[in-house]
Amino acid sequence: MCGFAVMLALNGEKADLSVVDKMTTSIRHRGPDDEGRYVEGPVGFGFRRLSILDLSLSGHQPMLSDDGQQVMVFNGEIYNYLELRAELEALGHRFKSSGDTEVLLHAYCEWGSACLNKLNGMWAFVIFDKKKRKFFGARDRFGIKPLYRYQGRDHVFFASEIKAILASGYYAMKTNWPIASKFLLQGRLDEGKETFYEGIEQIPPGTAFEFNLDAGSNEWHFWSLENIPEMSISDPPRDFYDVFEDAVKLRMRSDVPVGVCLSGGLDSTSIISLMAKLRADPKYLPGKSLQAFSYVSAEFDESLYIADTIEQTQAEINRLRINPSGLWNQLTQVLGYHDEPLHSATALIGFNLMALAANNGVKVVLNGQGADETIGGYHSYFPNYWTSLLRSGRLGETFSEIKAFCVEHGGNARDLFLKTLHRFYRSELGRLSSYRKIANLRKHNTYAKDPFFSPDLSKQLNLGDRGYMNEALNTALRYSVEYRPLPLYLRIEDRNSMAHSVEARLPFLDYRLVSLVWKLPVEWKMRGPLNKYVLRASMRGHIPESVRSRIDKMGFPTSVRQWFANQWYEPMRDLLASQETHQRGIYDVDFIQKELDRHRNGEIDASRKLFRVAQFEVLAQLWKSSAN
């Protein structure tokens, strides 16, 4: 796990070593253990290393092939590198190191772009092939590892974080207002290639590219949910368990201590329980104990579930204690690492959990990210599940499933059934372009009247997507994985962990596991009152029953509503009173101040919109300082 920067000079220019150094210095936090650079003609590579596998100097990057004709920078982990290494050795390849970086480089030399189909892991890499005078690069199937690109008149830059491109000195800061307006008005982030910075884009997940110095560029998707081949699944819970256990096992390969972020939920409990089972083999768990890092809010207490898990796994629990005033004071620092806004104050908790891990000597943390979006973990997916049943003509089964849901979650089954029929009808209407135009016009009018913001802000808003609210379950899951919210959550996970030089690994995003789940019938994802049904079925007897059978969901919630009414009230008021905020021209500052007071008095909950405004102002200050 590392960070890199690439400079490609065009039109006869040469790469500048000082520029490469400035770019890599800006992302030193991603790799404090080693640094390297390679500059030759128009090509410049810079690298910062976080040593996880093969801690020796033989893992140094940029890495050159044996004949010196290929040079590579790579951020991530190839979990099946041992298996690939054995395959390559059988083909005559010889290795100097014991890590995955050299395996990836040899894989490219042997198979070219076809090597991507053999990789199980998370990655972003760029290879310069001198013989072919071209760059080849790719981002992993789900976009777990970041990769940004900016092309100017005479240069192309690639980097692990936006700040490295800003540090190059070749980018002039310009706000991407269509993206900024979507955040301020809708709270939406990371939904495509574009970023908050006009002209800087991210390479999409599951995408590879070539840039030929003599013949232009090419970009293509090498993997997608829609192109997963058919597979034989005889026993879904058993098959799921076998792949999931192997996914955890592969992600425990490390030459440094490994821990886990633990809530009281199903996902992280399943991970730590398998880690506890595997810890009997010392090669899977370097370190003295199984370390768990946990945060529990007083308002959303999951401590009983966590206690059951700790008792079963005998893990060592490290609890995060937070101070709301301290979190506010951290906001500038956290946004400086992210370069873009956060989805909620929950990200501040994640930032501090990773700091807790680092302070306890843990450099690799396993986390449950991705399970909700692939297996069906959000409560909002139940209507999508019922829509799937209706689409299949299973009317009676739909009503039975709704009744089973209402028994545990409450509600009137008949009313909910009729509401589901209405949603199904709206889904069909949504396929008509005329209906979508009318719906988008209404939305635009609503946002134009938002009293928090200037009406001009809504003119920048693009409402092109339909969302998934009324769609079938698999459509909703694909939307969640490819569009939102998973890309945003992966960005939050990467920046929070790498800010503290910690590597986050996500077993639920093993592509074999996602492929299996994608091919399961919908009733293995949702059933009756239960979400993530196949995970629950597969973990019977492996995790505490109190967790396996729980039907509520909390995640890592925060008390941001109370914070804005108390500890965050004064600093937010000061922020609104600043001259810069007033001169921004996109807010009705007086109205927002009144809403802040109403929020403090308990009349309304304006915490989400207040947090958006606070973040945008903090980021604007950061952008101004970086421009100077």
- What pLDDT digit, counting tens, does each position of 251-276 carry? 998 888 889 999 989 999 999 999 99
From the centroid of its chain, how far is CA 209? 21
Q: Tokens standing for 56? A: 């020796």
Mean pLDDT across the stretch 611-617?
Answer: 97
Question: What's the confidence (pLDDT) of residue 280?
Answer: 75
Q: Which residues face 3 on adjacent strands?
A: 48
Per CATH, the number for 2-223 is 3.60.20.10
Pick the closest to residue 549 from 530, 524, 534 (CA basis).
530
Structure tokens at 106: 């040899």
Whether residue 553 has pLDDT greater than 80: no
For the chain, give the number of residues: 628
Q: What is the mean pLDDT of the chain?
A: 92
Provide mean pLDDT across the span 229-241. 95
What percentage of the chain reaches a pLDDT higher than 90? Answer: 79
Q: What backbone phi and psi angles, to 5 degrees, belong to 526?
A: -130, 140
Q: Which residue has the tokens 């090498």?
A: 222
- The span from the first CA to the last CA of the chain, in angstroms, equals 31
The distance of Cα 193 from the centroid of its chain, to the nearest Å, equals 14
427 pLDDT higher than 90? no
**CA nearest neighbour of 533 among 556, 551, 508:** 551
- With CA atoms as reference, report the closest residue to 20 among 29, 30, 7: 7
CA distance 227 to 474: 14
Looking at domain 229-375+484-548, its CATH class is alpha beta
More confident residue, 561 or 424: 561
Structure tokens at 242: 């076998």
**Contacts of 485 by beta carbon, 8 Å cutoff, 6+ apart:** 343, 373
pLDDT tens-digit map of 348-384: 999 999 999 999 999 999 999 999 999 999 999 999 9
Q: What is the pLDDT of residue 460?
A: 86
Q: Are 3 and 75 in contact (CB under 8 A)?
A: yes
pLDDT of residue 128: 96
pLDDT digits (tens, 9 = 90+) for 114-145: 999 999 999 999 999 998 999 999 999 999 99
SS3 at position 420 = helix
- When pLDDT is averaged across residues 562-574 and rounded to a whole number, the result is 96
| pTM of the predicted structure, to 2 decimals | 0.94
State mean pLDDT over 563-570: 96
Token pair recorded at residue 337: 């690492």
- Please give the average per-residue pLDDT across 411-431, as a whole number: 85
pLDDT of residue 214: 84
Query: How many Å is the Cα radius of gyration of the chain?
Result: 25
Structure tokens at 121: 């892991």
Query: Quick one: pLDDT at residue 419?
Result: 92
pLDDT interval class at 414 (50, 70, 90): very high
Domain boundaries, the chain: 2-223, 229-375+484-548, 560-627
> Which of 117-121, 208-212, 457-461 has the weakest average pLDDT?
457-461
pLDDT > 70 in the chain, percent: 92
